[in-house]
Amino acid sequence: MKWSLILELARALMFARVKQTIVAATGVTFSITMFVALLGFMNGLNTLLDGLVLNRTPHIRFYNQIKPNPNQPIDLSPEFGSAVNVIRSIKPSNSRLAIYNSEPILETLTKDPRVRGVSSKINSQVFYNVGNIDLTGIVNGVDPEKETELFAFQDYVTVGNPADLLQTNSIILGKGAADRMLADIGDVIQITTAKGNKAQLKVVGYYQSGLADFDNTNSFASINTVQKMMGESSSYLTDIQVKLYDFNQAPAFAREYRDIFEIEADDIQTVNAQFETGSSIRTLISYAVGITLLVVSGFGIYNILNMMIYEKLDTIAILKAIGFNSSDVKRIFITIALSIGLIGGAVGLFLGYLACLGIEQIPFETDALPTVKTFPVDFSPKYYLIGGVFSLVTTYLAGFFPARKASSVDPVDIIRGK
């Protein structure tokens, strides 16, 4: 059986009911448009919201935890080693926040081929002195270049430039902290460290992450500035942040180096499990809505094809009488369904793309997201592929049952019925 003939017959049947065919195709178009627009928009938002935290979260963070030594002397004694020993009131001893041997660790990590970048950091508890009031805060000693490269630091510096931190004694204040201190760019503020050292730093920028709590306390200065402020040596580091090429390797990577360096290592998956859950649920919901739309349009096609078959019983009967077999008739109606799906789907994908472009133009300004001016949209081809495939699958299924019905039409019944 030649496909050209099947196509010709299918086309003729569709053109005989142009209006209905268009209605059916419009149903598919509408649902595919919505599917693509919805998923693009949803995932754009997802990426944005996840990025809010995940972008500036290192894949692995190495740090020293102050905690009691797990190896107590009694466990080492041959007499009590195998017993269950209960020791009360253990205190952490001789611990410090700084990472031991930070230089070789940095060197080893930088050489690892899985690592995209390493950025060291100092976390320092401080008081911002405002008149006679002290506000608690944290000054993060960072390498502005590395921080920009790996954690999109510049996106969150709303005023000023991260490179300004390279001048000694300069600071980028968290927006919330700056507001509370009424500190403008160029002002000099005073900070007291936890150990009582005082330092005067010049405000060169504002930092706004979108997380108000974070912005109220956190400020940024260069590593050198913080080391000086704290009166520590140039090897003093409290955190080493690592970004990998494949962030799925993070847990294994963390486990591996935790043992080698005998240091705490947190991976992103463990720390931010809730973000993964949130975005996967949002994705699930948008897929569910999109697929519901497609199924509804599938029912539309099913109805229209059913109607078409009732109207075209004569045609089916005559085709069968002149030698078309059941599978030919089935193919004709499947072809009609798939053509509706193909054309409706293609137009839908195009309109969906336009809708995404439109959504991308809608202003979306919020204090929480300083870098975002319009709604974010994800233009990943994945959604277009899924939409396209789904439009064909639903229309095929919607066409399958009417086509089977058409193929089982008994020509004798129709011809005799006249």
Partner 1 sequence: MTKTKQPVLEAKNIDKFFYNPIETQVLKQVNFTINRGEFVSVVGKSGCGKSTLLYILSTMDTDYKGELLIDEEVITGKSSNYLSKLRNEKIGFVFQFHYLLNEFSVLENVLIPGLKLDKFSREELEHRAMEKLKIFDMQEHALKKANQLSGGQKQRVAIARALINDPVLIMGDEPTGNLDKKNADIVFNIFKELAAEFHQTILIVTHDPEFAEGTDRIIEMEDGRVIRL
Residues that bind partner 1 (CB under 8 A): 1-2, 5, 8-9, 12-13, 15-16, 314-315, 317-328, 410-412, 415-416, 418
Q: How far is the CB of 339 from partner 1 (least distance, A)?
A: 15
Q: How far is the CB of 296 from partner 1 (least distance, A)?
A: 29
Q: Which two tokens stand for residue 138?
A: 């944290």
Q: What is the CA radius of gyration of the chain?
A: 33
Query: 8 vs 276, which CB is nearer to partner 1?
Result: 8
Q: How far is the CB of 304 from partner 1 (least distance, A)?
A: 16
Q: How far is the CB of 331 from partner 1 (least distance, A)?
A: 12
What is the helix (H) or strand (E) element at residue 287, kind and residue range?
A: helix 273-311
Query: Taking phi first (over 0 means left), then psi (-120 to 50 degrees means alpha), and beta for anything else, what does residue 276 get?
Result: alpha
Angle at 184 between CA 183 and CA 188, to 5 degrees: 65
CA distance 180 to 168: 24
Query: 10 vs 52, which CB is nearer to partner 1?
Result: 10
Q: How far is the CB of 16 from partner 1 (least distance, A)?
A: 4
CA distance 220 to 225: 10
One-letter amino acid at 58 equals: P
Query: 2 vs 91, which CB is nearer to partner 1?
Result: 2
Closest CA to 8 of 304, 336, 262: 336
Q: How far is the CB of 249 from partner 1 (least distance, A)?
A: 57
Tokens 């697929």, residue located = 291
Query: 8 vs 367, which CB is nearer to partner 1?
Result: 8
3-state secondary structure of 152: coil
**What SS3 string covers 306-319?**
HHHHHHCHHHHHHH
Most distant CA pair in the chain, distance: 106
Quote the DSSP letter at residue 205: E
Query: 9 vs 406, which CB is nearer to partner 1?
Result: 9
Q: How far is the CB of 23 from partner 1 (least distance, A)?
A: 18
Q: How far is the CB of 315 from partner 1 (least distance, A)?
A: 6
The residues that bridge with 171 in the sheet, in sequence order, are 203
Query: 182 vs 322, which CB is nearer to partner 1?
Result: 322
Query: 133 vs 415, which CB is nearer to partner 1?
Result: 415
Query: 5 vs 288, which CB is nearer to partner 1?
Result: 5
Q: How far is the CB of 401 from partner 1 (least distance, A)?
A: 20
CA distance 298 to 292: 10
Q: Which residues contact 281 (CB under 8 A, 6 or more apart)?
A: none
Query: Taking phi first (over 0 means left), then psi (-120 to 50 degrees means alpha), and beta for anything else, what does residue 175 get?
Result: alpha
Q: Which two tokens stand for residue 141?
A: 């000693």
Query: 95 vs 325, which CB is nearer to partner 1?
Result: 325
CA distance 177 to 17: 69
Closest CA to 382 of 287, 300, 311: 287
Query: 16 vs 296, which CB is nearer to partner 1?
Result: 16
Q: How far is the CB of 342 from partner 1 (least distance, A)?
A: 20
